[in-house]
Amino acid sequence: MAAASNLRDYLKSYIGQPADVTLGTEDDAACMVAANAALMELLGDGTRRRENRTELVRAPASVTLDQVTADSKALTFAGFQPYMTGCSILIGSTWNRLVTLTSGTVSLETPYEGSTASSVAATVYFDALTLDAALEPIGQPILWNETDPVHLVNNNATLTAMRRLRQQMPTPPLGQPAYVLQEDALAVNATPATRLLFESLPLTKGVLSFNAALRPPQIASWEDATPFFLPGARDGLVLYPVARFYLSSYPQFIGDRKEAETDMQGALNQWALYTGSGNTAGTLDLNAA
């Protein structure tokens, strides 16, 4: 499923064009302007959409790797879960990191240093938190379990320095993150994402809370392979009616503009309930289904 082409086909019907017809330049531009205006309406108002986020950081997980191969990144891991992406893994006495390839399969970040083996015991440490949406730069305060501050660093070199310092001078409680790096523009199965990387290996489960906003995506091409533009796969419920309203000002629009406005307002109300940006306080779960 590709959100861009599906949205284009939806908008086509409101200017009297079937899905299998290639739009003319003017019609195509009108649909794209409407789509991007809708995305900015929903995700672009940093002041209105900037909210407190909470994300679960898991305790270390004991796992069994089905197959590891000497001097290879290839990995067979039936027990892999998407939230393990980017996390450190201890295989025997060797450290590595789990990555997700564009094909959706899991791999090691660097070639495995041990011998080829099956049914290998390993431990995954959740020192990376990959979200399923792209965030604007997060800001302080960043808190662990709502009380202990976690400091934001600007680059990987600083995070590495903090990691080495913590290794030399353990700070109780051992294994609780004190520094975090935000990495942008990652891709998880072609979906824009953000990864938070800690300087230490969390040894217990905890909750990370911070203030941030979703980075508004913009469509540059209808061939964009992004599966969904809104978290929670709410494109059809929310994005489509808002884009339709913006298209309703186009002279070739077919339909009642007042009805389109009413449908848009209903979609915005649904979005406010989901994001917690309405009158009732709430937290947007970026990993919600």
DSSP 125-160: E--EEEESS-BPPPEEEEEETTTEE-EEESSHHHHH
Q: Report the range of poorest mean pLDDT among 31-35, 214-218, 258-262.
A: 214-218
Give the model's confidence band at 138: pLDDT under 50 very low, under 70 low, under 90 confident, else very high. confident
Give the model's confidence band at 282: pLDDT under 50 very low, under 70 low, under 90 confident, else very high. very low
Verify that 20 and 39 share a domain, yes or no. yes
Is residue 280 one of the residues assigned to a domain? no
Is residue 44 one of the residues assigned to a domain? yes
Percentage of the chain modeled with pLDDT above 90? 58
Q: What's the mean pLDDT in 270-281?
A: 67
CA atoms in the 13 A half-sphere facing the CB of 146: 2
Verify that 201 and 162 share a domain, yes or no. yes
pLDDT at residue 279 in the model: 41
Verify that 159 and 140 share a domain, yes or no. yes
Is residue 283 one of the residues assigned to a domain? no
Is residue 83 one of the residues assigned to a domain? yes
Whether residue 280 is predicted with pLDDT greater than 50 in this model: the reply is no
Q: What's the mean pLDDT in 186-213?
A: 81
pLDDT at residue 277 in the model: 57
Verify that 76 and 38 share a domain, yes or no. no
Task: Give me the number of domains the chain comprises.
Answer: 3
Verify that 66 and 124 share a domain, yes or no. yes
Is residue 68 one of the residues assigned to a domain? yes
Domain coverage including residue 192: 53-57+129-211
Verify that 44 and 104 share a domain, yes or no. no
Higher pLDDT, 282 or 175: 175
The two tokens of residue 98 are 């789990």
Verify that 139 and 204 share a domain, yes or no. yes
Q: Among 90, 110, 128, where does a domain finish?
A: 128
Higher pLDDT, 130 or 185: 130
Is residue 136 one of the residues assigned to a domain? yes
Is residue 76 one of the residues assigned to a domain? yes
Verify that 8 and 19 share a domain, yes or no. yes
Q: What's the mean pLDDT in 18-37?
A: 92
Verify that 137 and 205 share a domain, yes or no. yes
Is residue 91 one of the residues assigned to a domain? yes
Q: Among 211, 243, 263, where does a domain finish?
A: 211
Q: Which of 280, 198, 188, 265 is nearest to 231 (CA)?
A: 188
Verify that 151 and 178 share a domain, yes or no. yes
Q: Report the range of poorest mean pLDDT among 27-36, 175-184, 241-250.
A: 175-184
pLDDT in tens, 140-183: 899 999 999 999 999 999 999 998 887 776 655 668 899 999 98
Q: Among 190, 211, 232, where does a domain finish?
A: 211
The two tokens of residue 259 are 């009805």
